[in-house]
Chain A
Amino acid sequence: MKMKWIAFLPLIPLAIAILLIEILTRYQILPSYLAPTPSEVFSAIFVDSKEIWTAFFQTAKAAFLGFLMSAFFGILIGIIFSSSKWMYRAFYPYAVFFQTVPVIAVAPLLVIWFGYGTPTVVASSFIVSIFPMIASTLTGMRSTDPALVDLFHLYKANAFDFLFKLRLPFCLPQIFVGLRIASGLAVIGAVVGEFITGGGLGGIIEVAKTRQRLDLVFAAILMATLIGFIFLSGMNIFSRLVLRNWHASEKNI
């Protein structure tokens, strides 16, 4: 019972902060061209809601697709890299490319290749979020207990059993670390993509900025944060369901 109370504790500082900002902005202590009042932001979300919510689902969908793609390909590439030294040597530098390339610089290229629409946004989300998946899978696969590798050799386990009964389950905790990071990055990637292509929350921010509609900008930022929060919570629940019986990281939190 006590736990439930504690879960709501962060709401108290939030309420105080909103109240303070409301006072600061309403009485123009903070000028309105710098920040809207929180009540204007909420009314943008709940009153002029249609545009915001449509954008919310548009961005969420693109980010989720990008996230799924980086989860799938990231884990796959991580497995391939960890099982072949040659593949690792030959291709790892190009995987690092995804980590180091500034997505905002590539975005115009993506528009040329994929057009002004969802595919570009998904691609941008994918580029930003794939590297942590590769890196975490790789680390996990490499940390397999060597004694258990010996044991599997002793019983002449086949390659399939090695992967699915030993290596993959062993790196699940690492994969979940990657999934958590990637879920947040996927939203960032999607919003950046939308800055260029328009549409979604990123599009709203672009347009509202030029029209001095700070309330809409803030509303869109809040909604984008909400998407990230939902993704991350989903990953936390998923991770707890899978790991609760055995991994120290999911016990007694």
Chain B
Amino acid sequence: MKADIIARNLSKTFNNGLTTLKNLNFEITEGDFVSLVGPSGCGKSTLLRLIAKLEMPSEGSLQVYHDQIAFVFQDAHLLPWRNVFENISLPLELQKISPAEKKSLTEQALEKIGLKDFASAYPAQLSGGMKMRVSLARALVTQPKLLLMDEPFAALDEVSRASLEEDLRKLWLEKKMTIVFVTHSISEACFLTNRALVLSSRPGQIVLDKKISLPENRKLEITLSPEFSKTAREILEVLSANTQQDMAAQL
């Protein structure tokens, strides 16, 4: 397996002196589905922005062997003056893809994500779950090799969230693109991804690198299996140990 992302002694300190990530070493192989789990403020999002080259590392190196990258934010962040179709085709438009190809790729993405009947709706007319679907379709329309997701389902209700998670897992099984998925939810990490990188509180360091050995095809029922709880418990123990430690140090 080829490495897709390689971090060596990666640290990030912002101009205001805040160190959010300290001395990270990891590799992510091509086609892997990895979650970054950690308490809020531990630098998960910063790491994602570093991978997307929206920030630069302060120390160490971070190599990313793709430039076809897509990013999904915590909220949908659609352009309110464009309808669903025009929102999804935006990345193609910015990359100056020909109109014919733009149309066919956008239609494919609409179909894939179950939005075919909403092509001409405006974001203001959609529910939170639907907006997130549009956002996901916008990310997939360029057929990225690397998909970065920053707590994309955190603001959704339980039902929309579960259905989007199932769809995302299916999509990944089909396309096998590399996905890095930031979340603070342990069960989401276990259900969705194949490997969890657990970060400590700030400054974030990797405290656990856990392979999630669940079947490839996952239904929601899997969350009730003993194997699932065992994995979740292990992550939880490491996570709470490293969060408490930090709080004790602050006192």
- Which A residues form the contact surface with B (CB < 8 A)? 145, 147-148, 150-157, 161, 165-166, 169, 172, 243, 245-248, 251
Contacts of A147 in B (CB 8 A): 73, 75, 77
Secondary structure of the A contact surface, majority rule = helix
Residue of B nearest to A161 (CB): B94
Which listed residue (B69, B93, B124) contacts A245, Cβ 8 A? B124
Contacts of A145 in B (CB 8 A): 77
Instruction: Please report the C-alpha to C-alpha distance between residue A17 and residue B77 in the assembled complex, in whole angstroms.
Output: 51
Q: A161-B94, A246-B81, A247-B80 given as contacts; is B124 within 8 A of A154 (CB)?
A: no
Instruction: Please report the C-alpha to C-alpha distance between residue A187 and residue B85 in the assembled complex, in whole angstroms.
Output: 42
Instruction: Please report the C-alpha to C-alpha distance between residue A145 and residue B76 in the assembled complex, in whole angstroms.
Output: 12
> B95 contacts the other chain (Cβ, under 8 Å)?
yes
Interface size on B, as a range, is 20 to 34
Residue of B nearest to A149 (CB): B54
> B191 contacts the other chain (Cβ, under 8 Å)?
no
Is there contact, CB below 8 Å, between A151 and B71? yes
Q: Interface code B99-133, partner A: CB below 8 Å = 1, 0 otherwise?
A: 00000000000000000000000111000000000
Contacts of B124 in A (CB 8 A): 245-246, 248, 251
> B52 contacts the other chain (Cβ, under 8 Å)?
yes
Q: A145-B77, A148-B79 given as contacts; is B54 within 8 A of A154 (CB)?
A: yes
Is there contact, CB below 8 Å, between A169 and B54? no
Contacts of A172 in B (CB 8 A): 81
Residue of A nearest to B150 (CB): A147
Is there contact, CB below 8 Å, between A156 and B52? no
Residue of A nearest to B92 (CB): A155
Is there contact, CB below 8 Å, between B69 and A169? no
Q: A156-B94, A246-B123, A246-B124 given as contacts; is B54 within 8 A of A150 (CB)?
A: yes
Q: A150-B71, A245-B124 given as contacts; is B77 within 8 A of A155 (CB)?
A: no
Interfacial residues of chain B within 59-96, with CB under 8 A of chain A in the complex: 69-71, 73, 75, 77, 79-81, 83, 90-91, 93-95
Among A151, A248, A251, find the residue whose CB has the most chain B CB atoms closer than 10 A.
Answer: A151
Instruction: Please report the C-alpha to C-alpha distance between residue A172 and residue B81 in the assembled complex, in whole angstroms.
Output: 10
